[in-house]
Structure 1
């Protein structure tokens, strides 16, 4: 048998290292298509001259790097997934530029069979590297994967101990980045690091309706082959799930309105895809400032943000009900660090 049906839950072993196939060279076309798929307008990734004035030379968008590395892992980690559940302890370690080629490697760090016996949760730490072997991205994610044989014995349960937040001292400021000559007029908003207060909530106001063609193009672009995104017969309801990364990028792009100067994503503290998203859903977004930190570069500050995507119609800036559960309509709850001018 030459074809590969993908791994099932019982095929994973804690500690094993998986080298993912098919390196991917990124080019300027990726940047253009990304900005066509999402209303992405952050100046540092929109204009090479603006990036040069900030000490960088036109880097690839941070979430393009994330999606590319993520896509490499799908055939080995989540081809037979029921759902991608969450993220933690992620850091962008160095910029990626057009012409760089990315590879990915994952280590299985946790396994837990669900009570139904039909599936289980797999935790992996994934590292993306460029063509020189330099690490560009490192993060943990966990995914619910079907079992091939529901009668197969459950593995020993191992649940990794993950930090709630990436420590500010561990954030990587890209070499050369300097916001001392930052042009707030060209960036689109005047708000600096000091203008944001812990606990502040920002309703990003704008909304976008997701189309089937757009999310399918995005999923193909990142070479994400998960069946739930492509095969309408894979789910009982006959609907293809929107790739969770599509919702992340859409919410990040919507956050421009209020956070236009949050130019670089530095870390991913945690995240959950709270409920499924389908074509035809209209998405809105809001952010909460969770923390602030200085960096080793005086002109660069860090904001810890909660980014929430929800379906239009849900109360603005809603997250949880009185029972502590996520409110109806919440799609994404993402906790991340960004770099912003001081």
Structure 2
């Protein structure tokens, strides 16, 4: 009997299938240190226990996206080991902060399937939950991924497309218990801009850029225990290049957005997202944001900003997103729609 695992192919999924992912992970301050080494992340809430306590939290949490990466990485062997590409996200919510010492695991349910017209691959939709050691949901999200067929002659499954919300309603945002920005220290945070200083429709060029290095993206992918072959094996793609993990681009763009959005401290929802074009080592990534919406919250001094975060290659025109045909321009890498909490 074979002992090794070649991963699931498109024909191995069925709607309603529940996947309980292996290898729980206890996070520590090491995750924070490595996260901040990989990305120019400077959010005060995630850098200082004292700052976090002044905002009503017991200590500085692990970065929201680090939590996402840990949970995401758990799912890869069961969902996207044979992926062509990770395509998009929806209905993501962070339910609880994660602190050093918490142990995270993940489980996913298959909620949709659609075979591609070429018959060689298909799109798998899953809803994933990340849980802590108390079986509390710390975050959940939907993602869809294009997966190869192992047997091209396998019959196509019935097409099932999930009905997904385009945005998480502000009333459904989960705010960390005790969060209070009434005593927020703008000097220590790094910028003076409050919730009220941002206008719907405003676009912000984050100015800075970072060139993606092969060693750093490989370290990041291993850190999050992401085993997708396209990120490791240069023989897996016809062009002989290793695809940069999409989460690496998300975190890089989010870190770059500090310049202009330093006070958009906590990500609480992921409304949608697309990895528009592949990124490879040597590409220089820049970022810009658009304020899509604003909402008040029940937490003292806390407002919510709905932001579009766009990662582009340095060759892109300012604020360019789509061409006349409606398709993403080739220099656009990421289009991410999320809610973040900001002092009022």
TM over 0.5: yes
Contact 2:130 2:138 in 1 (8 A): yes
Contact 2:179 2:300 in 1 (8 A): no
**Which residue of structure 2 lines up, in the alignment, with residue 271 of structure 1?**
273
Structure 2 unmatched runs, 5+: none
**Which residue of structure 2 lines up, in the alignment, with residue 128 of structure 1?**
130
1:324 to partner: Cα distance:
1.7
**Which residue of structure 1 lines up, in the alignment, with residue 38 of structure 2?**
37
Contact 2:21 2:105 in 1 (8 A): yes
**Which residue of structure 2 lines up, in the alignment, with residue 329 of structure 1?**
331
**Which residue of structure 2 lines up, in the alignment, with residue 316 of structure 1?**
318
The CA RMSD over aligned residues, in Å, is 0.5
Q: Deviations over 1:119-164 (max 9, x none)?
A: 0000000000000000000000000000000010000000000000
Q: Deviations over 1:259-278 (max 9, x none)?
A: 00000000000000000000
TM-score of the aligned structures, taking structure 2 as reference length: 0.99
Query: Does residue 19 of structure 1 match 2:11?
Result: no
1:198 to partner: Cα distance:
0.3
**Which residue of structure 2 lines up, in the alignment, with residue 202 of structure 1?**
204
1:133-282 superposed matches below 5 A: 133-282=135-284
**Which residue of structure 2 lines up, in the alignment, with residue 75 of structure 1?**
77
Query: Does residue 339 of structure 1 match 2:337?
Result: no
1:313 to partner: Cα distance:
1.3
1:297 to partner: Cα distance:
1.2
CA distance in 1, matches of 2:328, 2:276: 8
TM-score of the aligned structures, taking structure 1 as reference length: 0.99
CA distance in 1, matches of 2:290, 2:67: 24
Query: Does residue 111 of structure 1 match 2:113?
Result: yes
Q: Deviations over 1:219-268 (max 9, x none)?
A: 00000000000000000111000000000000000000000000000000
CA distance in 2, matches of 1:328, 1:194: 34
**Which residue of structure 1 lines up, in the alignment, with residue 50 of structure 2?**
49
Structure 1 unmatched runs, 5+: none
Give 3-state SS (helix, strand or coil) of 2:78's partner: helix
Q: How many residues align?
A: 342
1:298 to partner: Cα distance:
3.2
1:48 to partner: Cα distance:
1.1
Give 3-state SS (helix, strand or coil) of 2:174's partner: coil
Query: Does residue 302 of structure 1 match 2:304?
Result: yes
Q: Deviations over 1:174-221 (max 9, x none)?
A: 001100110000000000000000000000000000000000000000
CA distance in 1, matches of 2:322, 2:42: 30
CA distance in 2, matches of 1:277, 1:306: 19
Q: Deviations over 1:97-137 (max 9, x none)?
A: 00000000000000000000000000000000000000000
**Which residue of structure 1 lines up, in the alignment, with residue 90 of structure 2?**
88
**Which residue of structure 2 lines up, in the alignment, with residue 59 of structure 1?**
61
